[in-house]
Structure 1
Amino acid sequence: MTNQLPIPATSEPFAAGREADVFLLDDGRVLRRYRTAADTAHEAEIMAYAASHGYPVPAVYAASGPDMVMERLHGPTMAEAALAGDLALEDGAVMLADLLRRLHELPPRGSGSRDTIVHLDLHPENVLITERGPVVIDWRNAGDGPGDLDTALSALIIAQVAIGSIEHPLGASIDAMLDRFLELAPGDPVRLLDDAAAYRRGQLTMSPDEIAMIGTAVARVRAGVR
Structure 2
Amino acid sequence: MSTDPGAAAPTGQRTDHVVKLLVTGPFNAGKTTLIAAISQTPVVDTDVATTGDEARIKARTTVAMDYGTYALDDDQGRVDLLMFGTPGQPRFQFMTDVMKGDVDAVISVVDGSDESTHTDAGNAMRALLVDLHAPLVVAVNRCDDPQHALLVARRLGALSSDAVVPCQLVHPESSRDVVVAALIAALERLERPGGWTSPLQRVVDALRSSSAAAA
Is TM-score (shorter-chain normalized) higher than 0.5?
no
TM-score by length of 1: 0.30
More strand by share: 2
